[in-house]
Amino acid sequence: MKTVIKSHDKTINIDLSKPLDISIPLCASKENPLAWYQNEPTIEPVKMGDWTGKVSEGASVNFNNVFFNPHAHGTHTECFGHISQEFHSVNEALKTFFFLAEVISVKPQKDGEDEIISEESIVKALNGKTPEAVIIRTLPNIPEKKSKHWSDTNWPFLHEKGALFLREIGVKHLLIDLPSVDKERDEGKLLAHKAFWNFPQSPRVDSTITELIYVPNFIEDGSYFLNLQIASFHNDASPSKPVLYKIIEV
């Protein structure tokens, strides 16, 4: 189903029948991605006395409790409330859900024991474009990212200057295939988060960061229409489902 959409004075054509899901589904398994020293999520039937909420055990419905952490267990979208003393909800921060986005592939650069996504690599990959959302795919892009246990791996991270550059060119939504835009152990500095959100000087209340996505290799670098879907959680972060649509040339 092709549709014509107007976005910021631009008219684009997309095919809604061909979504490109770049989220990682949550599953109660060690195959689920894990970060921040957490165990795998659990999905278990409710038990009340001799009743178990499972059809295969005699119940009329399946009735499960789910225990997970948005930041540790899969694709999630967060607002600046993630790093503020005051409570701020991502459900209040994200009020529109469709954006022009750019997918870029970036190879982190060695810096001592670290790997850094530099400002220079982002500038080069964007090549003058100033989209509303930027989706960073790190290289090498291996399928194992979808089930990787990230704790104590010192994953690559976005340099503060790279985050500042994205903010300065007007990017409001940043998506990345890592557990965090920041270094795993950074003594709480959170330099990339703070630079992107302009925190604490004048926080960008309607900007978001989405982490632990996976962009398959068949999705080429370039411009897309992004639908950034979140669950209605009154929390600093929510599990999310970013979906891309190719822009059809006419």
pLDDT tens readout for residues 191-217: 999 999 999 999 999 999 999 999 999
Could you tell me if residue 44 is inside a domain?
Answer: no
CATH number, domain with residue 98? 3.50.30.50
Could you tell me if residue 191 is inside a domain?
Answer: yes
**What pLDDT score was predicted for residue 208?**
98
Could you tell me if residue 162 is inside a domain?
Answer: yes
78-112 pLDDT per residue, tens: 999 999 999 999 999 999 999 999 999 999 999 99
**DSSP per-residue codes, 156-193:** -EE-HHHHHHHHHTT--EEEESSS-SS-SSSTT--HHH
| Residues 80 and 243: beta-carbon distance below 8 Å | no
Could you tell me if residue 226 is inside a domain?
Answer: yes
Nearest to 182 by CA among 197, 204, 202: 197
| Residues 156 and 178: beta-carbon distance below 8 Å | yes
Could you tell me if residue 167 is inside a domain?
Answer: yes
pTM as predicted: 0.95
Could you tell me if residue 62 is inside a domain?
Answer: no
Name the 3-class secondary structure at 228. Answer: strand
Domain count, the chain: 1
Exposure string of 10-29, with b = 16+ CB inside 10 Å and e = fewer, is: eebebeeeeebbbbbebebe
Q: 6 pLDDT band (50/70/90 cuts)?
A: low
Could you tell me if residue 35 is inside a domain?
Answer: no
* Residue 221 domain boundaries: 2-28+74-248
Could you tell me if residue 130 is inside a domain?
Answer: yes
pLDDT higher than 70, residue 2: no
